[in-house]
Each structure stands twice: as C-alpha cells, then as structure tokens.
Amino acid sequence: MLPGTWQATPIVIDGDSKDWPSPYPNYDAASLVAYATSNDKYNLYITMETGDELVQMKVLKRGMVVSIDTGGKKDPQLHINYPLENDNDPLEMMKDDKSAYKSKHIDHQLDGKIDKNLREATQFSTEGFIECNGGYMISQPTPCGIKIRARIDEYKELVWEAVIPFKAIYGVDTISAQYAGKPISVCFAVKAFKNPGSKQPAENNSGMNNNMSARGGGRGGGGGKGGGSRAPAEDPMQHLYESTKTWKVFGIAYQP
C-alpha cells in the first residue's frame, strides 16, 4: 500500500493538470495512463491522464469507470461513470484500414474525433455515494458535491479530474486522526472496442462485474507530458481491443 498524499491547497477541478505533480507520480505502462490521488480534510482528489490517441478514443467512445473500494481491496462499492459510452459518430476508420494507424496522418484523423467526443461528454453517473446516486450534467452542482471535468490540454493529453467530498464516501464533513493511513483503493477501468475480426463481444464495464484484465499500475515517473505512447513496433490497433483496469491502493493522508 502506498502512502497517501496530503493536499495543502484545494485542487481546482477544471481538466487542467497544473495543480498536480509533473510528471504524474504513477504510470501504468500496460494501460498507457498516468494517474495520481491526494486528499485534504474534506475531499479526495483523483486524476488520470493519457497522451495516447487510441486510449483517448477508447475513453471517450467506450467510456471510463472510476471506482473506489473503501476497504483498500479490489471490490469497489462506489463508481463514477465518466465519460459515458458514446455511440454517436462511429469510429469507421478502425474497421479495416490498419495502415491508417501506421501513417503520419493518425493525429489529423483522430484529433477531430477526439475533440468532438469530448464536447459531447456532458453527462456522468454515480453509484453508491451518500446523497449522490444517478445521472448528472458535468456543469450542474451535485447534491453531494462531486465535481468532474475532462479536457485535452496544450500537450494533447486527455486530463480527467474529480473531487469527491469525504461526506459522500464516509458520511463525515471532515476526516479526523482515526482516518490517518486508512486503506482505500481507486480503479480506472476502460472498456475495449469490439475487434472486427473477432466473434467475441466487447467487454462491458457495467457494474464493474466483468472479465476485464487487471493492470497493475504504480511505476513512478512514467507519466506526464508527452508520455504514454506505445512502442513503434507494436501493432497500433491492438490496444483498441483491450479492456484495462488500473488500481491504486493507498492510505488516507492526515494532518491536524
């Protein structure tokens, strides 16, 4: 279990990573995502970023679930679904033309799709939180104070941020000394596209009860600006068809 990180200054949830360490302290090379968590007396802060265009498309088209296990294990009770799955504007280019992904035009072809899908990612849903269960617009206040934002920054990184009041997790306005070091775990789950050449259906994130492969994260220093890209020799299509889970297990930080 990793030690928690005390957040001395509240993080502004605006989809900008400027409030977070650079590079992010945790990186999952299998999922191609960097991530970080921190907390103060009132809130848990969570962020994820990826500079890989195909992972960005998976997140924006197939959706992402960020889940919390308050016991520090891998049986989460709390879930945030954002972005939601987007069936509009199918990603036609991925069906047949593998060479398109190997060409220098990948950025141009995907940038428009990524921007469009991010603009359409205006809703999220929550499960299991105190006073926060259901669907919300990201622009509206939630009853429990959960806030979420995602955007593409100047480095072409997809940055995802959320603040979750401890009142929505533990039912307390502020944590006390008894919460110091209390184990908690966060999971970032991304659902795969269905492989056009396979008869198997794409895996589903719903409820987190699925057969997605668990990816162990936590390699420090691997994320940050310009990171998170695959090796040149790797089949660039393959990652689209792999669902991933990235776990971080840590202890709640506390300062009097």
One-letter amino acid at 214 equals: A
| Tokens of residue 207, six digits | 């409820």
* Gap between the terminal Cα atoms of the chain: 22
Closest CA relative to residue 31, chosen from 182, 185, 227: 227
pTM: 0.84
Edge to edge, the sheet with strand 123-129 lists 132-137, 123-129, 78-81, 64-69, 183-190, 244-251, 213-216
Predicted local distance difference test score (pLDDT) of residue 99: 47
Q: Give mean pLDDT in consecutive 10-residue pieces for the chain, a chain of 256 residues.
A: 95 96 96 97 98 93 97 97 84 48 53 86 96 95 97 95 98 97 98 75 44 35 47 65 96 96
